[in-house]
Amino acid sequence: MSTPRIVVTGIGATSPIGGTAPESWNALLSGASGARTLEHEWVEQYQLPVTFAAEALVRPETVLERPVAKRLDPSSQLAMVAAKEAWEDAGAPDIDPDRLGVDFATGIGGVWTLLDAWDTLREKGPRRVMPMTVPMLMPNAAAGNLSLHFNARAFARTVASACASSTESIVNAVQHIRDGLADVVIAGGTESAIHPITIASFASMQALSKRNDSPATASRPGSVDRDGFVMGEGAGVLILETEEHAKTRGAKIYATIVGGGVTADSYHITANDPEGRGAARAVRMALEMAGASPDDVTHINAHATSTPVGDPNEYQALRAVFGDRVDEIPVSATKASTGHLLGGTGALEAIFTVLALKNRVAPPTINITEQDPEVPFAISGAPVELGSGDQLAISNSFGFGGHNAVVAIASV
């Protein structure tokens, strides 16, 4: 029995640079930045050392019906907005609910709901804490609410692997379809964690850029003067199904998900393995599942968060797989534009990779003032045309806890 091909038939995204997937893609190509000074009283109230982030451009509560938005944490709101877009983009398939699944992800979950409830408890007492607090803050809230909204009864599963989460959810979705558990899967991830606590924590560990005077140019992956990542928020959703199922219903096909790899470093809770062994193994696993070799890869969407240590570690991991050729493959480091969406970043970047293959263009990497010789990726400040033939790309995601996830995507 042959292994079914898994294709992408719908995409949806709400990000710091666009309210939809097409808007985000066009803004990315134009060199936009989603990082802005935060206009919240709590920035000054807590004297936060970092005063900017990349908030979602369109607030989800202004898009969703009010009764729906009130029952959802902001992270689930973002997920719902992106999922509705992806579902409509896929043609709102008429499918047996028992054959529709959800593989979704978050890195942190409902942090706003949790900490707002804590404030209510301290200030007003236990009787004023909302009964929906736990259902709103739990990490599986987004997956559960998507299952309810789309009547998905095959499964509704949640990955929480820090910044590798939503790439891992895509890899899981591919495997679940191949295993015959579903015909169609809503896959992706979300995050809404731009909160005083998370900003203070990331800043305390020296992970965030401190360029408060120039937010739009703060995220500088691969640049010699990079000083940390920029927090972002948003969600990305892909509708995945077998090629046979898609063709039977006459769906358009963006690309094929041909492989995936998931590994663990077992090195440090926040730092990557400096030799990149786990990351390299995830890339090799993705290519092996795809039946491809490193020589077949024509584009890479790098994890590239703009941290002093993380960027060269990723370069070393890819060099272990691709050898000298890693310096020639067009690489996009899209967090320069979007910031780092944590649990939502892998899905958004998978969408960017899908659109790069569909449009035969690698998006630009902005804010490179001087490229670090220790990170000599083939990155460009302008879009780079890809060839007209078959294209194969990988999209990388690595996270706290030593999580590594890579997805391989082929053009159609």
Chain position carrying tokens 């979007």: 338
- Spatial strand order of the sheet with 299-301 comes to 155-159, 100-105, 184-191, 234-242, 6-14, 255-264, 403-410, 392-399, 299-301, 331-332
- Strand, helix or coil at 58? coil
- Each domain of the chain, given as residue ranges in start order, spans 7-410
DSSP H helices in 11-127: 21-30, 41-45, 66-70, 74-89, 111-124
Torsion of CA 90, 92, 94, 99, to 10 degrees: 60
Q: Which CATH number fits domain 7-410: 3.40.47.10, 3.40.920.10, 3.30.750.24, 3.30.1490.70?
A: 3.40.47.10
pLDDT at 1: 59
Cα–Cα distances (Å) from 348 to 21, 42, 235, in that order, read 9, 28, 7
Residue in 95, 163, 290, 347 annotated catalytic: 163
| CB-based contact 257:409 (threshold 8 Å) | yes
pLDDT at 2: 77
Q: What is the mean pLDDT of each run of 10 residues along the chain (412 residues)?
A: 91 99 99 99 98 97 92 98 99 98 98 97 97 98 99 99 99 98 99 98 98 99 98 99 98 99 97 94 99 98 98 98 97 99 99 99 97 96 95 98 98 98
DSSP letters spanning 273-298: PTT-HHHHHHHHHHHHHHT--GGG--
| CB-based contact 188:238 (threshold 8 Å) | yes
Is position 163 annotated as part of the catalytic site?
A: yes
Cα separation, 37 vs 381, in Å, equals: 23
| CB-based contact 207:353 (threshold 8 Å) | no
